[in-house]
Amino acid sequence: MPHLKLSADQVLTTTRAVRKRLDFDRPVEPQVLRECLEIALQAPSGSNSQGWHFVIVTDAAKKAAIAELYLKAFDDYEAGPAQPTKQHLDDPSMAPTQERVLSSARYLADNLARVPAMLIPCCAGRPDTAGLPHGVVASIYGSILPAAWSFMLAARERGLGTCWTTLHLSYETEIAKLLGIPDDVAQVALIPIAYTRGTQFQPAPRKSLDNVLHTDGW
């Protein structure tokens, strides 16, 4: 797949959570996934630990099993307080956007088994271990999130769509057993991967920087 030749700023501002525009029928070449992961390995990690692991799932039966668990988790999420339409209730202008987000998320949940590939970024160690200091937990997550985001940026430049999801973690134990992931390795996300239908994406509406920027204090 030829690169899109986007600028760094374009890649950073147009790497969207892609769900409804994923092309389920077009295969994703293993070499393209490897290219994106090679770039991901250049990300920083705490103490240069490089304690990351990446599980790519392309087997149809395993994708279907993961998708079944994901859908169960999504149904619980949709009924709970964290789903998109229950956010930003103090700003009615956000309602249409949040409805679109929920519709898009439901579409992915209903079709997850159809994606050509899934990526599960993992990290050595268990950030959910009782009693771990906050700084240690932050370091564990901070040693995998930059690499996972780098993968998603590299995928965007190659015409691939991705989406950061974590709902499968409600069934992390079951998925670990399915994929043979060791008990002392934590799954951090599940990233569906497919070529996109069309490659034009725009920066998303965001809160004003002035609403979230604090200089020299809160």
The string of pLDDT tens digits covering residues 28-77 is 999 999 999 999 999 999 999 999 999 999 999 999 999 999 999 999 99
Domains and CATH numbers, the chain: 8-198 (3.40.109.10)
What does the DSSP assignment read for 69-91?
Answer: HHHHHHHHHHHSTTSGGGS-TT-
47: left (phi over 0), alpha (psi -120 to 50) or beta: left
Q: What is the pLDDT of residue 1?
A: 64
| pLDDT the model gives residue 97 | 85
How confident is the model over 102-153, as pLDDT tens digits?
899 999 999 999 999 999 999 999 999 999 999 999 999 999 999 999 999 9
B/e letters for 148-168, b = 16+ CB within 10 Å, e = fewer, are bbbbbbbbbbbbbbbbebebb
Task: Return the pLDDT at 95.
Answer: 84
C-beta of residue 167 within 8 angstroms of C-beta of residue 69? no
- When pLDDT is averaged across residues 152-168 and rounded to a whole number, the result is 98
The rounded percent of the chain whose pLDDT value lies above 90 is 86
pTM over 0.85: yes
Q: How far apart are CA 213 and CA 218, in angstroms?
A: 9
CB atoms under 10 Å from CB of 31, counted, come to 9
Q: How far apart are the C-alpha atoms of 56 and 179, rounded to whole Å? A: 10
Report the pLDDT value the prediction gives residue 54, as an integer from 0 to 100: 98
